[in-house]
Amino acid sequence: MENAGDYDSLESATTLGVSALAHDLLHFGVTSQVPERLSNHVVSPKTDQAKWYRKLLDSCKEAKPLPTTSEEASTLVTHTLRKYQKADVEGLLAFYGLPQPQDEVKSPSITNGVKFEMHTLPVDAKEVEDGDGITVYVSTEDPRESPCVPPNVLTASLRRSEACALRNHAEADAFHREIIDSGYRVLNIQNEEILARKYRIRLRGIDAPESSMRYGKVAKKELRNAVQGKSLRILVYGEDRYGRCVSDVYYNGVFVQELMLKKGLAWHYKAYDKREELKTWEREARERRVGLWALSNPEKPWDWRKDRREAEAKSINFIKST
C-alpha cells in the first residue's frame, strides 16, 4: 500500500474545479479503487479504469508544476490517456466537469499559417539545446505519425524487441542505432517502451542569447526547467534552413515564448515575427530591467552570430592567402 502522504502536494495544489480528481487520485493511491459512479460515464470496465488512474497518478507525480486549473487538468488527462478510447477520455472529463479537448481555448494564430500540430512525449532535460531550441519526440502511435514510419524502422524495432527478449544486448543496440540513424528512437516512458519520431524545434518569434553569450546559460536553464518532464503542444509554422520546425510551444496552457520574453531571457525576433504581443512582452521586461535587460547594452544574438561569421570568413581568407 502506498503512503497517502506522498500525494499531499497533489491535493493542495488544486483549485475547486479539479479537487475531486485530486481526491480520487489520492484515494486510488491508497486503496487502488476507482470511483463507483465512473462506470456510468465511460464504456470500459473497472480493470481498464484502474490503469487510467495509475497512469494519471504517475503523470501527476512527474508534473512540474502540478495542474492548478481545470484547463491544465484536462490537458494532463487528455495527454496521459491519449492511447485510450475517445469515449472513455471524454467520459472521464465529463465525470469531473473538466473541459473537453474541443473546448480548449486555441491560439488566434492557429488558423494563420500553422502547417500541423503535434503533441510530444515528456521532454528530457538533456534535449534542451539552448534558450530557443528543443529536441522532442512524438509517439509513432500518434495518428499523424503512424502511416509515415519507414518500413526499415518498423523492422528494426521488431528485431530489437526480439533481441532484448533474448538478452542479446549487442544486437539490440545495433538495431537501435539503425532506428536512431533514421530519425527515430525507442524511449522508456513509465516502464513502457515507445517508438518515437525525433523533431528539432526552434521557438518561433524569439531569439535567446547563444550559450557563450551573457545570459545564454541562464536562458537555457530557464527553458529546461520550464519544459522538462512535460508533454508539449507544438504548432509548426514551417522549417528553417537547419531543418528545425519553427514553432509555437505550449505546456499546460503556458505559452513558452511568452515565458521567456517576460523573464527577460530572449529578444523579440522582429525580423521574422511581427506579433504585437511579443513586442509588448519584450518592452515590459525591458522596463522592469529583468534578465538580460539588467545589462546596460546587451548584445543582440543576431549581431553576435554575424560578427562570428565575418571573423571566421576573414580567418579562412587569411589562411588561403598565406
Q: What is the largest CA-CA distance in the chain?
A: 83
Burial call 247-269: b when 16+ CB within 10 Å, e when fewer: bbbbbbeebbbbbbbbbbbbbbb
Answer yes or no: do 195 and 239 share one domain. yes
pLDDT tens per residue across span 229-286: 999 999 999 999 999 999 999 998 899 999 999 999 999 999 999 999 999 999 999 9
CATH number at residue 123: 2.40.50.90
Residues 89 and 122 placed together within one structural domain of the fold: no
Q: What is the pLDDT of residue 101?
A: 67
Q: Which domain holds residue 208?
A: 116-301
Residue 108 lies in a domain: no
Domain for residue 310, yes or no?
no
* 190 and 129 in a common domain: yes
Q: pLDDT-derived band of residue 61, with 50, 70 and 90 as boundaries?
A: confident
Per-residue confidence band for 20, with pLDDT thresholds at 50, 70 and 90:
confident
Q: All 3 cell numbers of residue 201?
A: 524545434
pLDDT digits (tens, 9 = 90+) for 139-160: 998 888 988 999 999 999 999 9
Integer Cα distance of 34 and 42 in angstroms: 12
Tell me what the mean pLDDT of segment 198-220 comes to: 95
Average pLDDT, the chain: 86
> If you ran DSSP here, which 8-state letter would residue 268 be given?
E
Q: Are both 135 and 180 inside the same structural domain?
A: yes
What pTM, to 2 d.p., does this model score?
0.66
Nearest-angstrom CA–CA distance, 67 and 10: 9
Range with the poorest average pLDDT among 28-32, 171-175, 192-196: 28-32
Tell me the β-bridge partners of 201: 134, 245
| Minimum mean pLDDT range among 11-20, 209-218, 235-244, 257-266 | 11-20
The confidence band for 188, taking pLDDT boundaries of 50, 70 and 90, is: very high
Beta bridge partners of 192: 189
Residues 252, 67: contact at Cβ < 8 Å?
yes
Query: Do 59 and 120 belong together in one domain?
Result: no
User: Active-site residues: which are they?
Assistant: 202, 210, 244
Half-sphere exposure at residue 117, Cβ-oriented, CA atoms within 13 angstroms:
10
Q: Are residues 123 and 39 in the same domain?
A: no
Do both 283 and 181 map to the same domain? yes
How many residues are given for the chain?
322
